[in-house]
Each structure stands twice: as C-alpha cells, then as structure tokens.
Structure 1
Amino acid sequence: MNLFGGTIGNLESGLKYSATKQKTIAQNIANVDTPKYKAKDVSFAKMLKDAEIDTMSAHRTDQRHYEFKQPQSSDGVYSYTNLRYRQNGNGVDMDAEQAKMAENTIYYNALIDRINGKLNSLKTVIKGGQ
C-alpha cells in the first residue's frame, strides 16, 4: 500500500516546481544590475514531462526486449534569448519579477495548505476519528 502516493506525490511535485521558480526569480532579482544578464524562467510543462518520464519503469522478461532509458531530468529552467530591457543588455524587469514572486508565493501557500489538509485527514484516520 502506497500511503503517500497519489495526491501527496503530486503536491510534492508542485512544491518542487514552486521552489525552483522561487530560486530562479531570486536569481533574476539579484542580477538586476548585471550587464548582459538574461532573465530566466521555469517551464512547468517541461518539469511535468520530466516527472512523468522519471516514474516510468519496465520489467524485461527477455534480454532481447528493449530496455527503457530514462533521460537526464532537467530542472525546467530556461533563459530568454532575445530579451533586452536596458542599454547594457540586462533582461530583468523588476516589476515583472516581483509580480511573479507574489504569484509564486500564493501558489506555494496553497500547496502547503492542501498538504496540511491531507496530513490532518490521515492523522484523524490514525486516531480513529477522535
């Protein structure tokens, strides 16, 4: 029986995405005055695709069967290539980064709230409904 699979596993993946996004936003803000720095962002779709591939497994019953190879998973972070906001080539828009940070904080808090609800439900079941 997989007690913490399913919903809690998906919420954990969401928290990984949120943490990666927070680090990326913080890195962008820290480099707001760095010449030629290109802003970075995180692709949720890429992280989701990597998570689906990482969970895939197969049992080979014969040596002639193809072996499943899992590609190297990436963190989903990418740089904007043709983005310039300033004369020095810096691509960080402070207002946009602060808005992204606020949005990510709300997303993170919602995930934490949902995980707390799931764990409280398990706690109630373990206590026998008391």
Structure 2
Amino acid sequence: MFDNVFGVHESAMKLRQDRLGLLSENLVNAETPNYKAKDIDFRKAMNASLSNSGVSLEQTHGSHMKHRRLSSIGGAELVYRNPMNPAADGNTVEAHYEQSEFGKETARYMATVQFIENRIGGIRRAFRGE
C-alpha cells in the first residue's frame, strides 16, 4: 500500500542531493589546477533512476574527492562542463555559474522536501481520521 507513496519524489530528492554535492565540490575546487567541473543531467538521471539502470562515477585524479555511487538511486551519467572562459591552469570551474546552479538546485530540493512533508502530513491526517 505504501510502496510508492512518494512517487518520483523520493528518487528526485536523492538525485538532487547528489547534484548539490557535485556542485559544492566544484565550488570547493574552483582554484584547483586541472580540476574539471562535474555535473549530472537531472532529466537523464531521473529516467535512469526510474528504469533501475546504473552508471558509477569515475575519479579522474587521485586527489579528487570520491563520489558515492549514484547507481544506488537509479544511476546518473557524470558530465564535464566546457567553460565559457577556460582558465590557463586547466580548471573548468566557473564559480558564478556554479553558485547560480547551486542556488537553483537548492530551491528545487526544498520544493521536493516540502512535497514529501505535505504527503507525510496527509498520511498522518488519514490515519487519525481527519
């Protein structure tokens, strides 16, 4: 009865958490030479999540932080950004873009959390007979 009570929102929340993690890693490494800005295509990742296919993330340099596998939430293909203004040191992070994307993704994450909270509240009211 409650197997799919949150619909796609459970997978969406997990993917949004992973995307926020990637965006924050990009911001942290904005000054790291040869660091490549990473992201996931949310739409493709959701489709993969819903079809239960999985792709693991790959560490491109020994000093980069390790990602947890996105395949545990359905899979996501890691993509590398091509910067509008490439840095001389090979870093592809554009901090203003990453900050903008982080803000937008945070708002989407909060909307997903709000939906799930409302759904839980509805279930509680139903149990109480309200």
Q: TM-score, normalised by structure 1?
A: 0.76
User: Who is 1:86 aligned against?
Assistant: 87
- Over the matched positions of the two proteins, sequence identity in percent amounts to 25
Query: Which of 2, 8, 11 is the equivalent residue of 1:10?
Result: 8
Corresponding residue for residue 124 of structure 2: 123
The 4+ residue runs of structure 1 with deviation greater than 4 A are: none
Gaps of 5+ in 1: 55-69
RMSD (Å), alpha carbons:
1.8
1:32 to 10, 30, 33: 30
On the 8 A contact 1:18/1:104 being kept in 2, the answer is: yes
| 2:51 matched residue in structure 1 | 53
Tell me how far apart the structure 1 counterparts of residues 109 and 11 of structure 2 sit (CA, whole Å): 11
The alpha carbon displacement at 1:46 in A equals: 2.3
Q: CA deviation at 1:45?
A: 2.5
Confirm or deny: 8 A CA contact 1:35 1:89 kept in the other structure: yes
TM-score, normalisation: structure 2: 0.76
Q: Which has the larger radius of gyration?
A: 1
Deviations 1:26-80 (CA, angstroms, capped at 9, x unpaired): 11011111111111111112212222321xxxxxxxxxxxxxxx66543332223
CA distance in 1, matches of 2:124, 2:34: 52
* Distance in 2 between residues matched to 1:43 and 1:110, nearest whole Å: 19
Q: Work out the CA distance in 1 between the residues paired with 2:122 and 2:79.
A: 38
For residue 51 of structure 2, give the secondary structure of its aligned residue in structure 1.
helix
Q: How far apart, CA to CA, are the structure 2 residues paired with 1:105 and 1:71?
A: 24
Task: Give runs of aligned pairs for residues 94-109 of structure 1, distance below 5 A.
Answer: 94-109=95-110
Unmatched tracts of structure 2, length 5 or more: 56-70
Q: Distance in 1 between matches of 2:80 and 2:122?
A: 41
